[in-house]
Structure 1
């Protein structure tokens, strides 16, 4: 019954199943047909942005000789903050729009607008990627998740009903003490999920606990990892412990799920009719050669309420140079290096997901960028980039109090105010760093 009701809802709510079928058709296209479709949809978005979005009208007029995407200006998180209203498309009031925001894992929490058209393609693509992992609509799924916003909304009747219809059971990845690992293991054994969708670090730590403590664990069809860098040793242990393949995914709040591995795990396929991806040298801003690592730049081809064109998402990857034996001709990215988000260690030895501390910075408008550094078991330094000469003392006290509540009352909390935060040698930004071994 649950499956049939949810399919009926997907059919009529935002036409998600129709979008899913369209995406399924795109899977079978030839490389030439994919390129033609991508260029057509990209040009449609560029034309719309120029004619209907004040911000892009100004920006495109300032680059009148642009003949390639790489000639157009890049969009930064700061641009969204400073031009929020001018980035909205004409007629947004008729588009069933809503607000969303990044988690702050890049050091710059950013609010933006999305709409029903975008959401229907996002949900349709999720269904396709779930299918690659062996899960069909409404088959049981465990989400080992760490989004504070998602978790905080979990008690509403609407959210509970939605999760029941989707057959999704959520486990809080923010709290990962020894007893939490055991509770999570028991929940997996009770639910017997078709798949586990999890933050990389969270499921890697859970797999390590299961193996070290010789816990009997149910084997799903797949484990889908996201929101971090999946290192080879992590993949090997997760696959060994859960006795199933790992499918890595890549996405963001701004664009939803962007790319996913298929059964062959050759690389992460992305649908170029939904996302146009460039990879650039962060120093020269020029496109890199296929196979060469660079910074990911994304253009959404489905969000007309607030188009994000050539958006610097803050992660590193390379274009895969070969084809995939799965038969899907969508392009692939590989060597994806997400934002490095070390777990912190509380005074009692428990692991603490960094999003708990990031949350305390969300509503401090005076913070332009941040880095949280646990230098020792009992010392945390907040590096805050700001234009404000005197930060509000009440905000600093609240940040300090929340940090002590999570890590321990005897933890020393310090504040530093650098002019900027540099990239690591890898080219990635590190906004949560822990020097404390687990």
Structure 2
């Protein structure tokens, strides 16, 4: 929402806020779900049983078309590949340089294949804390949602089914919190959005009471939030109604065995995981047999070691076919996965993945709002320009130190105010926030960057 719309929303009563959310979703979904989307959904549904050979052939075709488009439209990639023989052939992919978020950020205008006003903008901080603004074509968004919905449809989900959504939307007013009301509802699409900023022991019973009353068929969103609710429910011996929830679809965070076990035990249903990213990474999806599959129709997946050599377990390098506005080609996304050599009997003949290792699951703890997960922390950059990188350190429950590397030509006092407001939305008003502007934030000995360094977890 724009600044004016946010002000109108914040001043409106609860019922009107629900209506505003419905109107916002109707407009958003109209862009996602049109004739192109329906055509893409049919294609992916028809392709669910393609053989391994057919999938690899389709991947090669899509790769070649994507590279041809990129080289013809992007000055950055045209120059980067000018001395590489046959860069559009998949068998030559390892000849291409690897790029990372910093490369994308420093060359944004030359990487774009379309003017900004012709694309859909996705602003992402990501769990590395580095800001990035990417563009998508309308067709990119439609096809990505078709892939996602094709995955969820296999477990009965369709838009309009009653859903509880736990995402990084800041939707509550002071009045809501005073009334112990931690949700807003889109009655048009049957979605109730639960705040992920108030996961505190003193509020969890209100969440669960409402969740049981609302009786959704599907849970979607940050698994760390659902995990806290499920842990609380099990500890309090709350008996969640059986045969209510048909599936849980986690987003944005890594699913551990512990999280899966707790969620499935309390909510009495199955978790079906999927991996993508707001930058537009290709999809990894879980089948009915609980096996993860690379979706070869969505991109190319390379798993490399520290010397950039192929390995079974290592860092993930992606080429994403649905990123025509800001092409991602051999993009080091900052995650790790482990491949598997096993096949699956589910009918999906895409290669399997043993596990998604992801990033650290650190969090910030606030005595006012509880645990704040990485998904919410990374969203602090929404609406902020000029922050290159940030890191939050917490040594006491009452205070956080925020180290910021800023672009002095872009970053303004207004951006600082928005950034602090975003932080306060997450940690509450009683937490002391100390901003420290620095020229560099050191990486760990392992070479990894940590968005959160929490020294009070125990």
Counterparts of 1:91 and 1:394, CA distance in 2: 26
Q: What are the equivalent positions in structure 2 for 1:43-62 lying under 5 Å apart? A: 43-62=64-83
Q: Offset at 1:90?
A: 5.5
2:8 maps to which residue? none
2:273 aligned to 248, 263, 269, which one? 248
CA contact (8 A) 1:133 1:195 kept: no
| Equivalent residue in structure 2 for 1:88, among 103, 107, 112 | 112
Q: Any residues of structure 2 matched to 1:134-213 within 5 Å, and which?
A: 134-147=156-169, 163-213=186-236
Residues 164 and 21 of structure 1: is their aligned pair in 2 closer, same or farther, counting only changes over 3 Å?
farther
RMSD, matched Cα: 3.5
Decide whether aligned partners of structure 1 residues 77 and 209 sit closer, same or farther in structure 2, where only a CA change above 3 A counts: same
Deviates more, 1:350-359 or 1:138-147: 350-359
Greater alpha carbon shift after TM alignment, 61-70 vs 193-202: 61-70
- Equivalent position of 2:54 in the other structure: 33
Aligned match for 1:230, one of 238, 252, 255: 255
Alignment match of 1:71 (pick from 81, 95, 98): 95
Tell me which moved more, 255-264 or 25-34: 255-264
Cα distance between partner residues in 2 of 1:296 and 1:331: 15
Is the Cα contact below 8 Å between 1:141 and 1:167 reproduced in 2? yes
Partner of 2:308: 285
**Does 2:366 align with 1:342?**
no
Alignment correspondent of 2:245: 220
Hey, what's the Cα distance between the residues in 2 that align with 1:326 and 1:221? Answer: 19
Note the C-alpha offset of 1:191. Answer: 2.8
Judging changes above 3 Å, is the alpha-carbon distance between structure 1 residues 399 and 22 closer, same or farther for their aligned structure 2 residues?
A: closer
Cα distance in 2 between the residues matched to 1:41 and 1:165:
37
2:287 paired residue number: 262
Alignment pair present for 1:413 and 2:451 = no
User: How far, CA to CA, are the matches of 1:257 and 1:210 in structure 2?
Assistant: 35
The answer to whether the Cα contact below 8 Å between 1:181 and 1:206 also exists between their aligned partners in 2 is yes
The separation in 2 between residues aligned to 1:137 and 1:340, in whole angstroms, is 32
Normalized against structure 2, the TM-score is what?
A: 0.80
Quote the offset at 1:114 in angstroms.
Answer: 0.6
Moved more, 100-109 or 38-47: 100-109
What stretches of structure 2 of length at least 5 have no aligned partner? 1-25, 174-183
**2:375 and 2:138 mapped to 1: Cα distance?**
27
The answer to whether the 8 A contact 1:269-1:330 is kept is yes
Instruction: Give, in whole Å, the separation in 2 of the partners of 1:164 and 1:397.
Output: 33
Q: Distance in 2 between matches of 1:13 and 1:43?
A: 27
Residue 409 of structure 1 and its aligned partner are, at CA, apart by 3.5
Query: Which range moved further: 311-320 or 83-92?
Result: 83-92
How far apart, in 1, do the equivalents of 2:33 and 2:373 lie?
38
Give the 5 Å matches for 1:349-428. 350-354=370-374, 358-361=378-381, 365-385=385-405, 406-407=427-428, 409=430, 411=432, 413=434, 415=436, 417=438, 419-423=440-444, 425=446
Kindly tell me: are residues 338 and 361 of structure 1, through their superposed partners in 2, closer, same or farther at Cα, counting changes over 3 Å? same
The runs of 5 or more residues in structure 1 that have no matched partner are: 153-159
Shift of 1:252: 0.9
Deviates more, 1:131-140 or 1:168-177: 131-140
Q: So what's the TM-score if we normalise by structure 1?
A: 0.83
| Correspondence for 2:149 | 127
| Matched pairs, number | 416
Task: Provide Cα deviations, 1:335-374, integer angstroms capped at 9, x if missing partner.
Answer: 2122324232223472234555555555665532222121
